[in-house]
Amino acid sequence: MDQNAQDRIRKMVTENQVMLFIKGTPDFPQCGFSAAVVDVLNDVGVPYAAFDVLSDPGIRQGIKDFANWPTIPQLYVKGEFVGGCDIVREMHASGELEPLLRGESA
């Protein structure tokens, strides 16, 4: 496992309350699932940091090891892995996502 990538990931997810790893950028997502999560976050309207895994193969593989989760996109809140596209959409639909993103829920 690439320790440097793990350290960089840990830094990103701890320094940003809401951290999103996607293929592409929020303005130009390169995959439907990444675009869907970007839409949800924009809909909620909280600030978030995003990292384009296509720009860094080390992070692209490292993030899968970090979360023990094989797909992209991946959403983190306060350093905790929240989930991929399915889970983010499910939480948004159930109303769980916004309090979590705003740091209001437990």
Partner 1 sequence: MSLRDEMERRIRARLPDARIELNDMTGGGDHWQAVIVSSTFEGQTTLLRQRAVFEALGELMHGPIHAFTVRTLTPAQAGRTE
Instruction: Please report, as residue ranges, which positions from 25 to 84 form the binding site for partner 1 (by CB under 8 A).
Output: 33, 68-71, 81-84
Query: CA–CA separation, 63 vs 69, rounded Å?
Result: 8
> Identity (one letter) of the amino acid at 79?
G
Residue 95 within binding range of partner 1, rule CB under 8 A: no
CA-based nearest residue to 98, from 24, 48, 27? 48
From candidates 90, 93, 103, 105, binder to partner 1 by CB under 8 A: 90
Shorter beta-carbon distance to partner 1: residue 60 or 102: 60
Measure the N-to-C terminal CA separation of the chain; round to a whole number of Å: 32
Answer for the pair 13, 79: CB distance below 8 angstroms, yes or no. yes
Place of tokens 């909280």: 46
**# residues contacting partner 1 (CB under 8 A):** 13
Instruction: Report whether 51 contacts 13 (CB < 8 A).
Output: no
CB of 9 vs partner 1, minimal distance in Å: 18
Among 20, 38, 85, 100, binds partner 1 (CB under 8 A): 85
Q: Which residues bind partner 1 (CB under 8 A)?
A: 33, 68-71, 81-87, 90
